[in-house]
Amino acid sequence: MSENNEQYYSSPETVINYTGVHPEDLGLDDQAELEDTIRGWLVDIKDLIDQDRNRDFHKEVENGRWEKVPPAIDSIALKMASNMVAQAITRRDTPIIKIGEYAVRMVEDKVFTSNIKDELKRFPYKPEISFVIPKESEGE
């Protein structure tokens, strides 16, 4: 699924195929602009995933931890990007969701859902480890 692009997980093409989104759905002029928009979202999503897990899966591939980015990470990025596509389309239609006759609520920007957070838990948070070596004071 991943294009081996270190800027993001998954790919614009995979998101487009998964969601069925067209440029006009997002008010864009052509396919290249759609791919660029989704690519930008995937860069943001990679940052969210890396910060949440305190690790960069592309660097772990470089360091030999994995042969390639785990497919589950690409899948999580795909789902997050799909959430962004759905929200962008919904916001263009109307930023308000009507429930029943009177209840109204705004469209929520939830890309990092609780289900996605649960999926990420399979990849443990990587704590930062640092060592402090005390300086020898003079006269010791």
pLDDT at residue 139 above 70?
Answer: no
Q: Calculate helix-pair angle for 71-93, 31-53, nearest 10 degrees.
A: 120
Residue/partner pairs of 14-23 with CB below 8 Å, 24 or more apart: 14/74, 14/78, 15/42, 15/78, 15/81, 15/82, 15/85, 18/78, 18/82, 19/82, 19/85, 19/86, 21/85, 21/89
Instruction: Report the candidate in 90, 93, 74, 85 with the shortest Cα–Cα distance to residue 111.
Output: 85
Tokens of 52: 């949440």
Confidence band for 138, pLDDT divided at 50, 70 and 90: low
Residue type, 134: P
Q: Is the pTM value of this prediction over 0.85?
A: no
Q: pLDDT tens digit string along 89-119?
A: 987 776 555 556 655 555 566 788 889 999 9
N- to C-terminal Cα separation, the chain: 59
Nearest to 80 by CA among 13, 134, 21, 9: 9
Please tell me the predicted confidence (pLDDT) of residue 137: 67
Q: Categorize the per-residue pLDDT at 130 as very low, low, confident or very high, splitting at 50, 70 and 90.
A: low
**Beta-carbon contacts of residue 27 (< 8 Å; ≥ 6 apart):** 92
Q: pLDDT for 55-92, tens place per residue?
A: 999 999 999 999 999 999 999 999 999 999 998 998 77
CB 108 within 8 A of CB 96: no
Task: pLDDT band for 122, please (50, 70, 90 cuts).
Answer: very high
| Average pLDDT score over the chain | 86
